[in-house]
A and B are shown apart, each in its own frame.
Chain A
């Protein structure tokens, strides 16, 4: 058995055996606010199944924020038989999805590192380990958060574009991801840029026009069929409006909730606008600056969006961290702060539940305690974004100026690029 297979089997077993033997793990994890939010929690999905089976409109009562098609397709698993069987099937589904993402990451790793000849990449088994044994992703998977599906389709969009080289499918995959959780909508910008990069022979206008068409067509298909399924436009405010307007103010690891609980209500619309704008506007400069490496631009945009989204979980950071090793042959060697943010990350992961416990259970802490950890969480993101951006710029500088000597590279002290 190859090392890769060992990793895959072990990673798969963790994801399948634990929730099968201890079904309560899923319930516990899906109630932890750092791991699942009202937008992607498995609990509200189960509530939606119940609504569906009892002919109640999916969006009555404002509990369910999952898009209709997802609810319906997953409900087939839920209705397969006894809850025991359907639980096992769900475990299987989530395991398969994670394994699929792993395989696609491996493919992407191969593709990306082929660009820089002569440099080494991480072995497939390591890339798989970084994903499958990432504790943040294990708990996210075990909590059966639906976040995993939008990541699946984001990765699939990249895979179809870069590895399979099937542009329409890539667009369909991204439209599914956007349909599932709104935020990937903005990834269309770096993705289109990446497309024109990888297809230099085709005129830009044609690429943009055609693929944007596919993308919009995909989205429209989903929106219209959702309208038919729901017999109302209610899913728009409930699924997307909730994310956009931040209607469900509950603590999570992000930066939004605290400000919106403390704020006077009449400021809310203004700041909702500012926060959303802030979240998406940086995608454009990132894409423009890194047109030479569209994959990096895409990744950086993904990181930025998962940092600034309204309902982030620790899983969002987990995905970012598991993709970083792909950049081994390019800039990874120039990252300097990794020790700092790994220590910060560990401290955050320890203190966050403790502070939440102090606040909610013991009553001797307050929301400020918990939010201070969220701020550190934000600092971790900023460190990562700063570090990889700077490392990437350094790497590009070295390539552009053809500095080959290692000693010279070590002496290189860049202050401004």
Chain B
């Protein structure tokens, strides 16, 4: 206590508090810069960790997989038959598959998703298991690269045949043959947990398998693992498959590592993987992804593996062994995945940073916005009490903005207007407020400063709320709205307009492309991805608040030193 008292006396004596208040805008910018640099130093040696298997029960690569040469012929046989089906309708393909898996003794059923073709799925009840848990192998007819997934289908049937001959399963195995890995797969997962009659217990893990027309050989496999709304599969599962791949001598690409750099491990490759990972996680559900995101939200750990290349040294049974050994490991589990990390950023397939290490970056960002908000109030030179007396008015304006945004968030997905026009309206009309603002709609100084401060504080709270759940979104949101914090200083009007423009969500989306916008507005309905609401109710409303405050009000800063005299 004595030390605290001394410090507090020192602070008081030196008058640090007023000085600090004057410096708040700069402190805020410094915090934002340190937030970004925090991300940049993560890939440096010593800041990241090597992956390791945390759950003892998994025991990856501790068992021989017999999915070998003898099964290769079977894969070939099925592939030949399946390639003949390429021009057939999915109904006919499904009928053929159903016959095959029924012959293996598997139970089959269909799911009608009301939009695409029916989804066929087969259940292998574990002969000696307790029939309460399941693992899923999902195979889309069409891969995410729009290729006919004949290799994946053939592997899946061959694997089912192989699995059904083994007695070691403690969990059921579900094989899902789905048209593609977007809406139909999500719809199946949802129906599995709500309406389907043929089920096999809670799903512990899921693998989406893509092996297009690669033939018998492939170069390396690609691992996709992002889930919806910032969710990630337990790191143990990824480590398991990667360790198995390592023992098979396979190379692994994550976040689109070019095939030439698979074994490269430098600061820049790590940084690239990290940044791509952050962007990919933010865009999951908005942009078509690997399909594993369809399993998000029901405590299912899922990933997608894709075979890459056709001339490589590795044969198709190795790809099958990847699935087999992963299933054997998951089969060993006695509890759901809980040991390892759920919140992490990958730097390479065997380096990662965990939440404790990267979280400060977004926290700094949130504090930067809080300081900026406080700074806006303090720099205005107005009495605090005047803000309190205007609080009702400020809040009312903000609530009106929020209601407008809410209506927009619900109507935009329904309206089928040309998106570019819409974007122009939403980005530029508010900017036009300045010119059109007549005296009838002019906010006084307190209100406009209050509104800007409240909006900035709102962004800070939004980042705080998203911190854990969706770090990537929180960080990118902070970065994109950062220009809004520069407004709290006396500056030329042009700068205000530019800052507002480049921090407008719709402006940024329009740059990112039309597909992103379409994906964004439909993602809630199709995949229950709530990023759209964060953008419309959080980002856009805060932006509107700042825009209204700065443009249609008296947002000029007096020299604070004069005021003090």
Among A134-142, A168-176, A349-357, the stretch that binds chain B is A349-357
Contacts of A365 in B (CB 8 A): 342, 468
Contact status of A350 and B465, CB under 8 A, knowing A364-B342, A364-B343: yes
0 or 1 for each of A356-370: is its CB under 8 Å from B? (1 = yes): 011001111110010
A-contacting residues, B296-343, CB 8 Å? 297, 299, 336, 338, 342-343
* Inter-subunit contact B461/A346 (CB<8 Å): yes
| B464 contacts the other chain (CB 8 A) | yes
A-B interface pairs (CB < 8 A), number: 38
Contact status of A363 and B336, CB under 8 A, knowing A354-B468, A415-B5: yes
Contacts of B343 in A (CB 8 A): 364
| A85 contacts the other chain (CB 8 A) | no
* Inter-subunit contact B370/A354 (CB<8 Å): no
A-contacting residues, B442-467, CB 8 Å? 461, 464-465, 467
* Inter-subunit contact A343/B370 (CB<8 Å): yes
**Which of A350, A362, A363 contacts B461, CB < 8 Å?**
A350
* Inter-subunit contact B469/A358 (CB<8 Å): yes
* Inter-subunit contact A347/B9 (CB<8 Å): no
0 or 1 for each of A361-390: is its CB under 8 Å from B? (1 = yes): 111111001000000000000000000000
Q: Which residue of A lies closest to B12 (CB)?
A: A413
A358–B355 Cα distance when bound, in Å, is 14
Contacts of B238 in A (CB 8 A): none
CB distance from B341 to the nearest CB of A (A): 9
CB distance from A199 to the nearest CB of B (A): 38
Contacts of A358 in B (CB 8 A): 468-469
Contact status of A350 and B464, CB under 8 A, knowing A358-B469, A364-B232, A366-B338: yes
A-contacting residues, B1-41, CB 8 Å? 5, 9, 12
A209–B338 Cα distance when bound, in Å, is 59
Interface residues on B, range: 10 to 19
CB distance from A133 to the nearest CB of B (A): 11
**Which of A351, A361, A364, A415 contacts B465, CB < 8 Å?**
A351
CB distance from A234 to the nearest CB of B (A): 37
0 or 1 for each of A326-349: is its CB under 8 Å from B? (1 = yes): 000000000000000001001100
Contacts of B467 in A (CB 8 A): 351
**Which of B9, B299, B338, B370 contacts A362, CB < 8 Å?**
B299
* Inter-subunit contact A413/B370 (CB<8 Å): no
A358–B342 Cα distance when bound, in Å, is 10
B-contacting residues, A289-340, CB 8 Å? none
A335–B5 Cα distance when bound, in Å, is 17
| B536 contacts the other chain (CB 8 A) | no
A350–B466 Cα distance when bound, in Å, is 10
Contacts of B464 in A (CB 8 A): 347, 350-351
Contact status of A363 and B5, CB under 8 A, knowing A347-B464, A350-B461, A354-B469: no
14 A-B pairs besides A364-B343, A365-B468, A413-B9 with CB distance below 8 A are A347-B461, A351-B467, A351-B468, A354-B468, A355-B468, A357-B469, A358-B469, A363-B338, A364-B232, A364-B234, A365-B342, A366-B338, A413-B12, A415-B5
User: Can you give 20 A-B contacts (C-beta < 8 A)?
Assistant: A347-B461, A347-B464, A350-B465, A351-B468, A355-B468, A358-B468, A362-B231, A362-B297, A363-B336, A363-B338, A363-B342, A364-B231, A364-B232, A364-B234, A364-B342, A364-B343, A365-B468, A366-B338, A413-B12, A415-B5
Residues of B at the A interface (CB closer than 8 Å) are: 5, 9, 12, 231-232, 234, 297, 299, 336, 338, 342-343, 370, 461, 464-465, 467-469
Q: Which 3 A-B pairs have the closest CB atoms?
A: A364-B342, A363-B299, A350-B465
